[in-house]
Amino acid sequence: MSHVLHRSLLQDYPVAVKGDGVYIIDADNKRYLDACGGAAVSCLGHSDSEVIQAIQQQVSQLAYAHSSFFTTEPMEALAEFLAKRAPGHLNSVYFVSGGSEAVEAALKLARQYYVEKGEPQRKHIIARRQSYHGNTLGALATGGNLWRRQQFEPLLINIHHLSPCYAYREQHDSEDDDAFVTRLVNELEDKIIELGTDQVMAFIAEPVVGATLGAVPAVGRYFEKMKAICEKYGVLFIADEVMCGMGRTGALFASSQENLVPDLLCIAKGLGAGYQPIGATLVSDDIINTLKSGSGFFQHGHTYIGHATACAAALAVQHRIEDAQLLSNVEAMGTHLHQALLHQFKDHPNIGDIRGKGLFRGLELVKDRNTKEPFDSALKLHAKIKKAAMNEGLMCYPMGGTINGRDGDHILLAPPFIFNEEHIDELVTKLSVAIDHALKVS
Ligand code: PLP
């Protein structure tokens, strides 16, 4: 009997014992092709010798030093690496242990910025429906995914949710991309005016929506235009790149691909690639200067901020990606994966949409392609696909649940940046078997 409190209390999990490139091997020696990086985490695969060496070296020198006593070389070097490559003037980096913590830090920085700037009335946050920003209570409140929020709603702070830029379901047949984007941008402006033009402190969005929708990029100049509205009313823009950032979409920062310069930018997952738990919030000079000339103190903190071993691991991961020019492979293999998915599934009666960017791809499952009617959530199709895929030796990331008051299933693919064409063939073949098996037993 396992004494571990797993998320699913009713399921038995295989015991993972070893990593080998893009594969995880279990205690029965079964190999699983990792086509989702767990949850878009393991972007370098599971056995990178340079990263392992960097961790060993750091642990033997200094595993950890509390950040209110010391700074450390790996923390300083990682912050410099990120700040030099980030869009705009995001020159300060606050290190945490994961994505939810990065979002919490961004929200609190936004609030403290406005308090110290003399605008404490700015307390509203605007986010989007069908978004996910983490599972701690503040981050959960910020996300608009009903399935994850429902039973915690009485405890959550009040956040205003707008329509996502989700063309497959939200764009009207009569609208081209420009008209769709204009409608969404107007929705944001209307909401700011409704709440009071000096009452909103921040807008938060994922540049490419991950866990809740399955790799949905925005269309047209959506992000540039949303940012322009935020600037008009002094609303800070928080880009949540926890899942889509750090190279996943083919650029180190997904915001850069959208010509978006956020005021706060959250990263995690691919930052440490799973070799160590680490996240970060990148902060603009304007926010930092306001705090410097105010309290001089960020009223926040966790025990493991800037953990030296985690920073050393993340720095080694990022150098590996840059030195081996793996983002070119993300672009090339991303295109190849998209083509392979189209080839395999474009005529499949239950695949409604195939989408994404770089090595961040999603498939949306529907009962009927013409009406886009989703499957009944009681079928738990996504869970059946995951189980069938694991039986085939494939890790993919199917999700479902009640989204926006309706049912829906999608599959998220986020393979390591070292994926090659053979891995893609294996992925598509196994995924096809898993989907068809799950549909047959549904
Ligand atoms: N933000 C986004 C966009 C995410 O996808 C996630 C996790 O999937 C989070 C935040 C929360 O990150 P974590 O699970 O590391 O707390």
The CATH number that applies at residue 82 is 3.40.640.10
Q: Is 207 in the pocket of ligand 1 (CB under 6 A)?
A: no
Q: Is 39 in the pocket of ligand 1 (CB under 6 A)?
A: yes
Q: Is 32 in the pocket of ligand 1 (CB under 6 A)?
A: no
Of 28 and 213, the structure prediction assigns the larger pLDDT to 28
Is residue 32 located within the same domain as residue 159? no
Give φ, ψ of 125 to 5 degrees: -120, 135
* Residue 405 pLDDT: 57
Burial 124-147 (b: 16+ CB within 10 A, else e): bbbbbbbbbbbeeebbbbbbbbbb
CA of 242 to the centre of ligand 1 (A): 6
What predicted TM-score, i.e. pTM, was given to this entire model? 0.98
Q: Is 142 in the pocket of ligand 1 (CB under 6 A)?
A: no
* Residue 403 pLDDT: 52
Q: What band does 183 get if pLDDT is binned at 50, 70 and 90?
A: very high
Q: Which of 255, 269, 302, 360 to mutate to test the pocket of ligand 1 (most atoms within 8 A of CB)?
A: 269
Q: What band does 401 get if pLDDT is binned at 50, 70 and 90?
A: low
Residue 134's domain comprises 52-324
Is residue 172 located within the same domain as residue 208? yes
Q: Is 138 in the pocket of ligand 1 (CB under 6 A)?
A: no
For residue 369, give the CATH number of its domain. 3.90.1150.10
CA of 432 to the centre of ligand 1 (A): 28
Is residue 156 located within the same domain as residue 61? yes
Nearest C-alpha neighbor of 210 from the set 288, 266, 136: 266
Is residue 203 located within the same domain as residue 111? yes
Sign of the C-alpha dihedral computed for residues 212, 216, 222 and 227 taken in this order:
positive
In a domain, 117, yes or no: yes
Q: Is 270 in the pocket of ligand 1 (CB under 6 A)?
A: no
Last residue of a domain, one of 324, 347, 376: 324
Give the rounded distance of the alpha carbon of 245 from its chain centre. Answer: 7
Q: What band does 406 get if pLDDT is binned at 50, 70 and 90?
A: low
Is residue 279 located within the same domain as residue 352? no
Please write the tens of the pLDDT for every residue from 150-179.
899 999 999 999 999 999 999 999 999 999
CA of 402 to the centre of ligand 1 (A): 19
* Residue 146 pLDDT: 84
Average pLDDT over residues 382-408: 86
Average pLDDT, the chain: 96
CA of 179 to the centre of ligand 1 (A): 31
Q: What band does 2 get if pLDDT is binned at 50, 70 and 90?
A: confident
Please write the tens of the pLDDT for every residue from 302-326.
999 999 999 999 999 999 999 999 9
Please write the tens of the pLDDT for every residue from 331-358.
999 999 999 999 999 999 999 999 999 9
In a domain, 187, yes or no: yes
**Residue with CA at minimum distance from ligand 1 atom 5:** 243
Is residue 364 located within the same domain as residue 259? no
CA of 175 to the centre of ligand 1 (A): 32
Is residue 58 located within the same domain as residue 199? yes
In a domain, 11, yes or no: no
**Is pLDDT above 70 for 293?**
yes
Phi-psi region of 41 (alpha: psi -120 to 50; beta: other; left: phi over 0): alpha
Lowest-confidence segment of 92-106, 172-186, 397-411, 425-439 by average pLDDT: 397-411
CA of 91 to the centre of ligand 1 (A): 22
CA of 212 to the centre of ligand 1 (A): 10
- Percentage of the chain modeled with pLDDT above 90: 93
Is residue 57 located within the same domain as residue 118? yes
Last residue of a domain, one of 300, 324, 348: 324
Give the rounded distance of the alpha carbon of 82 from its chain centre. Answer: 17
Please write the tens of the pLDDT for every residue from 365-376.
999 999 999 998
Is residue 90 located within the same domain as residue 143? yes
Number of domains in the chain: 2
Q: Is 96 in the pocket of ligand 1 (CB under 6 A)?
A: no
**Residue with CA at minimum distance from ligand 1 atom 12:** 99
In a domain, 10, yes or no: no
Q: Is 268 in the pocket of ligand 1 (CB under 6 A)?
A: yes
Lowest-confidence segment of 245-249, 375-379, 416-420 by average pLDDT: 375-379
The minimum-distance atom of ligand 1 relative to the CA of 277 is: 15
Give φ, ψ of 204 to 5 degrees: -125, 140
In a domain, 145, yes or no: yes
User: Measured between alpha carbons, how far is 427 from 345 in angstroms, rounded to an integer?
Assistant: 13
Last residue of a domain, one of 324, 348, 368: 324
The minimum-distance atom of ligand 1 relative to the CA of 131 is: 3
* Residue 404 pLDDT: 54
Q: Is 243 in the pocket of ligand 1 (CB under 6 A)?
A: yes
Is residue 333 located within the same domain as residue 317? no
Q: Exposed, middle or buried, 76 (CB in 10 Å: 0-12/13-18/19+)?
A: middle
Of 402 and 400, the structure prediction assigns the larger pLDDT to 400
Helix (H) or strand (E) run with residue 233 in it: none
CA of 279 to the centre of ligand 1 (A): 10
Is residue 225 located within the same domain as residue 331? no
Average pLDDT over residues 409-423: 97
In a domain, 230, yes or no: yes
The minimum-distance atom of ligand 1 relative to the CA of 209 is: 3
ipTM over the 0.85 cut-off: yes
In a domain, 196, yes or no: yes
Nearest C-alpha neighbor of 48 from the set 375, 320, 390, 373: 320
Is residue 190 located within the same domain as residue 305? yes
